[in-house]
Amino acid sequence: MTEAPLVVRDLSKSFGGLNVTRSVSLDLKPGEIHALIGPNGAGKSTLINLIAGELRPDSGAIRLNGVDVTGLHSEQRVRSGLARSFQVSSVLKDFTVLENALLAVVGRRQPALNWWRSTLSDTQGVEEAMAALEKVGLARRANAKVATLSYGERRHLELAMALALKPKVLLLDEPMAGVGTEEGHELTELVSNLRTDCAILLVEHDMDVVFALADRVSVLVEGRMIATGAPAEVREMESVQHAYFGTEDVW
């Protein structure tokens, strides 16, 4: 049997005296949506940054499709099939929607970067970028400047760019943060459909969303992974209710 797309083993990270990630282990199975929940400041974003390669762990290992990537830079991990979205939407605002998507398409093809031919004349690249935009319903806005998009549309674009990288493992850090209910539903639907393309690690606060999407749930509290399992199982665990929710009626 081949190894899971993403394997995290005994990952630790501290900022000065603050142990933000404490010996965290995690597997992402093929085609699963794995939700990562935990109170604010639990270290969820830090864990995402560690897996994406933006932060160096103090100890532990990260394997992508059976290959140890612990020592690789973030851009090298992208080329090994890892993509992420950012919690604070960070699409490039002075560019058009299509240009943003193209940057992702071209980024995947590195390092064979063309210095001469116009990006827009690369029909295959444009096609791929448009396909990614199509998937998130932004194709008709392709030539709009990102600065003119609504916040929800930017979150969609953020997803499209991650998709354009054709990842095998996708890290989504609160992709629905700050959007209205309506758009939240749209994004939920969208993420659900991505399941067939890649394995997803999803940081999400909204429990309704977690239950609608997740195949498994892991709970992070003060840097420690205190539980992993099917959503219904995890919900029943006393330790989870105690440490994370304090009371039972949050659900």
Partner 1 sequence: MLLLFLLLAVAPLGLEAYLLGELTRVMIYGMAACAVGFAIRHGGLVSFGHAAFFGMGAYCVLMARNAGYQDALLVWPLALLAVAVLALVIGLLSLRTGGVAFIMITLGFAQMVYFIISGSQSLGAADGLPLFGRDTLAGLSLDAIHGFHYLVLVALGLVLFVMVCLSRSPAGLALRGIAHDERRMKALGYAPKRLQLAAFVFSAVVTGFAGVLAANFYQFVGPAYLHWIVSGELLVMVALGGIASLSGGLFGALILVLFEAIFSEYTTYWRIFLGPAVILSVLYLHKGVHPAVERLLGGRDD
For partner 1, the binding residues (CB under 8 A) are: 52, 54, 73-75, 78-79, 83-84, 86, 90-95, 99, 102-104, 106-108, 110-111, 113-120, 122, 125, 161, 165
Q: Could you give the count of Cα atoms lying within 13 Å of 74 in the half-sphere of its Cβ?
A: 14
Note whether 188 binds Mg ion by CB under 5 A.
Answer: no
CB of 213 to partner 1, least distance (A): 22
User: Does 45 interact with Mg ion (rule: CB under 5 A)?
Assistant: yes
CB of residue 7 vs ligand ADP: minimum separation in angstroms?
A: 21
The residue (of 88 and 120) whose beta carbon lies closer to ligand ADP is 88
Using rule CB under 6 A, residue 162 touches ligand ADP: no
40 binds ligand ADP (CB under 6 A): yes
Report the residue count for the chain: 251
* Long-range contacts of the stretch 27-32 (C-beta < 8 A, 24+): 28/4, 28/169, 28/199, 28/200, 28/201, 29/4, 29/5, 29/199, 29/215, 29/216, 30/4, 30/5, 30/199, 31/195, 31/196, 31/198, 31/199, 32/195, 32/199, 32/200, 32/215, 32/216
Q: Which does residue 41 touch among Mg ion, partner 1, ligand ADP, none (CB within 5 to 8 A, set by kind)?
A: ligand ADP
Q: What three-state secondary structure class fits 31?
A: coil
Is 70 a binding residue for Mg ion by CB under 5 A? The answer is no
């830090």: which residue's tokens? 46
Q: What is the nearest approach in angstroms of ligand ADP to the Cβ of residue 156?
A: 22
Residue numbers at the binding site for Mg ion (CB under 5 A): 45
